[in-house]
Structure 1
C-alpha cells in the first residue's frame, strides 16, 4: 500500500525487517541455547557431581530468579544507553558465564552460576521488544516478534541435534562431555556480542539505509500510535502497576511454570516414557522445534493485526497446550507421550511470545521500558517456580507423573488471566 509520500508500507516494513531481525534472531537463538543446554548436560552432569532432581531443579530455577530481579533495571539502562551497546554487553557476559558453568563442582557453585547467568541475560527479551517498538508500528509488531522468536524453535532443533556428538567428546582433554557441551555452545555468544556492537542499527533516525521519506513515514506512523494512547509523561510506578502489565504477566507466568518444568527435564522425561537414548530424545526435541516454528509463522501472520485477535490467539493456544499436557499425563505409550510433548511445546511456546506484543500496544509509549520489563519479570517468576516444584515432586514420588498432572490447571489459569484483558482489547485497533 502506497501513500502520498510515495512510500510503500509493505516494502518498507520488509526492508526494516531484513536490516534488524536477522541479528536479533541469531542473538536470541544463542540465548535460548545457553539457558537451556543444561537440560542435556544434566543427563551426565547430575551423575558426575551427585546432584539430585531437587538440586538440579533449584539450579535450573536460579537462572530465572536472577533474570527476574534485574529485568526492570536492565531495560531502563537499555533505554538510556541504546539497544546496540546494551544488548552486546548482555551477550558478552552471559556467554562468558555459560562457559564458566562447565567448571562447577558443587551445588552452591551450580546455583551461583545459574543465578549469575540470569543476571547477565536479564532484560534481553523485553529489551528486544522495546527495540522493535521503535522500528515497527503496532499492526506489524506481532509479525516482527514472531520472526525473531522463531530463534527459539531453531535452538531446540540445534540443541537436539548437537547434544549427542558434544556429549560424546567425553574424556577429551580430561574433561567430561557435559563440560564440552557447555563450553562449545557458550562460545558463539562471545563472538556474536562483537558483531552486534558493530552491525545492529540503533534507531531509525541514524539508519543511513532509510531515505528521508521512509524515515518520515515511520516517524508519523509511530507518532499516531503514541497519540492514540495519550501523552501523560513517563511514570515508572504507573508502568509497573499497569493493570494490563500485571494481568498479562500473570497469564504468561502460569504458562512459563509449565514450560520450564517440562523443558528442563524433557530429555529425562522422554527417555523414561519412550526408552530412547540421548540421540533419539534429541530427535523428538528437534521435532518440537519444527512444530513451534510452523506455529510461529502462522500465528504471527494472522493473529497480530489487532489486539483482540492476539488475545484470542493466546487463549486458544494455552488451552491447546493444556490438551498436550493431558496426553503427556495419560502416557501409556511412547507415541502418546511424544505427541503430547510436541503439542504442548508448540502451543505453549507460540503463546509465550504474544503477551509482550500485547503489552506494547496496551500501555503508553512512555511507559514501555518499565512496563515490558515488569510483565516479563512476572512471567519469569513462573519460570523460576516450575523447575523447583518439578524437581521436588520427582524426588518425592520417583516419577514425573504427578508433576505433569499439576501443570494442567496452570494452562487454564493462564487463559483466565488473558480473558480479563479481552474487553479492553476489543476497543483497540
Structure 2
C-alpha cells in the first residue's frame, strides 16, 4: 500500500518537475526537427540535394555524439540548473543562426554546432529525474518527459506548416522565419530554468520538511540496495566499458533511427501524395497524438509489473513492422496508418528502456552511462535519415531506406532479449522483476 505521505510526495514531484521538463524538451525537439519543414523551400533556395539534406540532418548527431558524455559529467559536477540553462541558451542562438545558411557547407556546419550545443540536454534530464523519482515511478516520469517529443510533432508540425505559409518579412524567406521564430522560446526558457529548477531534493523548499526527508531517505535506501547488488557500477570509466551500457546503446540506436527518420522524412513522404504544407503538418501530427497515449499507458504497465524487457521488445517489433508497411504503402491512407503504427512502437519502447540504466548505475557512472547510451543510440538519428536520403537518390524511392530502418529495430528487439538472458544468468538487474 502507498502511504499518504508517499502519495503526496509523488503528486508534488509530478506537478512541479514533469510539466516543466516536458516544456523544455518540447522546444528542444521542435528546434531539432523543424529542418524537415524548412526543407520544403530551403533545399531549393540554397541548393541542397536529398543526399546533402540527409547528411546535414544527420551531422547534428555527430556533434551530439562527441560532446554528450563530457557535457553530462559537467552537469553531474555543477548541477542541472546551471548546465541545462547554458545548453538551452546556446542551442537557441545556434538554431536562430540556421536562418542564415547559404549553401551545403554552412548548413552542415550549423547542424553540427547545433548538436554540440544541445549535447547533454536529454541525458541530463534523464539523470535529473533519477535524482528525484523513486524506482517505482521512474518509467512513468521518463514517459511523461519523453511524451514531449511526439507532442512537439503533433503541435509543432501544424505550427511549422503555418509559418511556412508566411509571406517574406523584412526580406526573410518563410524557412528563415521558421528557424528564428522557433529559436526564441529556447533562449527565454534558458533564463527561466535558472529561476525555477531545483538541483536536488535537499534544496527543495517547495516541499514540506517531512516530505523532503521521506524522499531523501527513500532514494538513499534504493541507492544503498543497488550498490550492495552484484554488478553495480558507480565509476564513469567502468560505466563506459560496461557491456550492459553498450547493449542498451545498441537498442537505443534502433529506436533513434526510427524516431528521426520520422522527424526528418515523414513530411516529405506525406507530401508526395499532393498535400499542401499546412495539411502535411496536420497529418504528420496525427500519429504523434496516439503515440503519447500509448507511451504513458505502456510505461504505467511497466512500472506496475516491474518488468522492462518485454516492454521494450514488443514495441520495437511493432515499429519494425510499421516501417515495412510504410515502404510498401501505395495510398495516403496506408501511409498514415503505417506511420501511426511506427510512432506508437517507437514511443512505447523508450520509457521502459530508460528505466533500465538506473538499476545498475549511480553517481558519475550514471552520468557517463546514460550519456553514452544516448550518444551512441542517437547515432541512429544520423544513420536512419542519411540512409533514406542516399537510397532515395540511388533508387528513386523511399522504400529501401525504410526497410533498413526496420532492420535496426529488429536488432534492438533481439539485443534486448539477449541482455535479459544474460541478466538472468548473472542475477544482475537489467530488466526483469528483480532489481527494483
2:237 pairs with 1:237: yes
Distance 1:365 1:92 in 2: 26
2:308 pairs with 1:297: no
Whether the 8 Å CA contact 2:142–2:354 is kept in 1: the answer is no
Distance 2:221 2:405 in 1: 42
Comparing 218-227 and 70-79, the one that deviates more: 218-227
In structure 2, relative to structure 1, the CA distance for the partners of 1:172 and 1:366 (3 Å cut) is closer
Q: SS at the partner of 1:63?
A: helix
Partner residue, 1:122: 119
Count how many residue pairs are aligned between Structure 1 and Structure 2: 424
| Offset, 1:11 | 1.9
After TM superposition, list the pairs within 5 Å mapping 1:26-425 onto structure 2. 26-230=23-227, 234-272=234-272, 274-305=273-304, 307=306, 309-423=307-421, 424=423, 425=431
Deviations along 1:163-210, one digit per CA (max 9) or x if unpaired, are 232112232211110111111111100111111111111211111122
Whether the 8 Å CA contact 2:287–2:336 is kept in 1: the answer is no
Distance 1:419 1:234 in 2: 25
Distance 1:354 1:125 in 2: 16
Comparing 252-261 and 100-109, the one that deviates more: 252-261
TM-score w.r.t. length of structure 2: 0.94
| Offset, 1:229 | 1.6
Structure 2 residue runs of 5 or longer lacking an equivalent are 424-430
| Offset, 1:138 | 1.0
Distance 2:44 2:321 in 1: 33
2:435 pairs with 1:428: yes
Q: SS at the partner of 1:265?
A: helix
| Offset, 1:356 | 2.4
In structure 2, relative to structure 1, the CA distance for the partners of 1:387 and 1:144 (3 Å cut) is same
| Offset, 1:306 | 5.3
Distance 1:393 1:373 in 2: 30
Q: SS at the partner of 1:51?
A: coil
Distance 2:144 2:123 in 1: 15
Distance 2:98 2:352 in 1: 31
Distance 2:351 2:94 in 1: 26
Comparing 355-364 and 52-61, the one that deviates more: 355-364
| Offset, 1:381 | 1.5
Distance 2:244 2:222 in 1: 18
Whether the 8 Å CA contact 1:244–1:362 is kept in 2: the answer is no
Distance 1:211 1:87 in 2: 26
Distance 2:68 2:364 in 1: 18
Distance 2:352 2:110 in 1: 30
Distance 1:306 1:420 in 2: 20
Distance 1:26 1:262 in 2: 21
Comparing 254-263 and 56-65, the one that deviates more: 254-263
In structure 2, relative to structure 1, the CA distance for the partners of 1:241 and 1:233 (3 Å cut) is closer
| Offset, 1:233 | 8.0
Q: SS at the partner of 2:102?
A: coil
Deviations along 1:103-137, one digit per CA (max 9) or x if unpaired, are 00011110110111100110111100111111101
In structure 2, relative to structure 1, the CA distance for the partners of 1:264 and 1:226 (3 Å cut) is same
Distance 1:246 1:321 in 2: 22
| Offset, 1:263 | 2.1
Partner residue, 2:426: none
Please report the RMSD computed on the Cα atoms of aligned residues, expressed in angstroms. Answer: 1.6
In structure 2, relative to structure 1, the CA distance for the partners of 1:214 and 1:124 (3 Å cut) is same
Whether the 8 Å CA contact 2:292–2:347 is kept in 1: the answer is no
2:17 pairs with 1:15: no
TM-score w.r.t. length of structure 1: 0.95
In structure 2, relative to structure 1, the CA distance for the partners of 1:162 and 1:2 (3 Å cut) is closer
Whether the 8 Å CA contact 2:161–2:280 is kept in 1: the answer is no
